[in-house]
Amino acid sequence: MAETQQVHNSSNEEESPEPETSQSRRRRFKVSNMSFVEMVQMVDILKRADYDGKYGPYTNPNERKAKIMTKVVKSLHRNFGVRRSKEQLRKRWSDLKLREHDQYRRIKKVLLKSDVQVVVPKSSDFSSDSAQRMIQEIMFCSRDLDITKEKNQGD
C-alpha cells in the first residue's frame, strides 16, 4: 500500500503544471442578475442600432456587432456603475428573445411608452460631441424617470 502511495506521489510531481489559459488572464466581471432598467437600456441600444441586422445587409457584420456591444457595455457602466462583459450581454439578449418572451414584451412596451422624438436643431451649437452626450443623458434620465413612475404606479 505504501509503495502504491509513493508511486502515485512521484507521478504527480513529474507532471508539468497546467499552462495558464487565456481565460485566467481575462478581466473578471461581476456576474449578477440584470435589473429591469439595465435590460431596458440594453434592448433600447441594440434595437436602435439594428444589432440583429434586420434593416439591410451590412459589410463586416461581426465587427459592427462588436462595436454596438461595446456601446452597450460603456453605457451600462456609465449609467449604472456595473461592468458587464460582451459575452454576458450577448447571452442575456439571446435569452430575452428566445426564452423570456414575457420579459421582452414588457421591455418593448416600456420603450414604446417612453420613446422620445429626437429633434435636430438647425443651429450648429449642438453639433459638438459634448452636446450630443448631454442630450443622450437627458433622454436616459427621462426614460429612467418614466420607468420609476411606472413602478410606483404598479405598487
Over residues 81-100, the pLDDT tens digits come to: 888 999 999 999 999 999 99
Q: Which of 101, 104, 115 is nearest to 147 (CA)?
A: 115
Phi, psi for residue 84 in degrees, rounded to 5: -130, 145
What secondary structure letter does DSSP report for 124?
G
Dump pLDDT digits (tens) for 25-81. Answer: 555 555 568 888 899 999 999 999 999 988 878 889 999 999 999 999 999 999 988
- Asked whether the beta carbons of 42 and 76 are under 8 A apart, the reply is yes
At 69 the pLDDT is 95
Dump pLDDT digits (tens) for 2-15. Answer: 554 444 444 444 44
Largest Cα–Cα distance in the chain? 88
The pTM (predicted TM-score) of the whole model is: 0.55
At 152 the pLDDT is 79
- The cell numbers describing 44, all together, are 433600447
Dist CA 139 CA 134 (whole Å)? 9
At 16 the pLDDT is 42
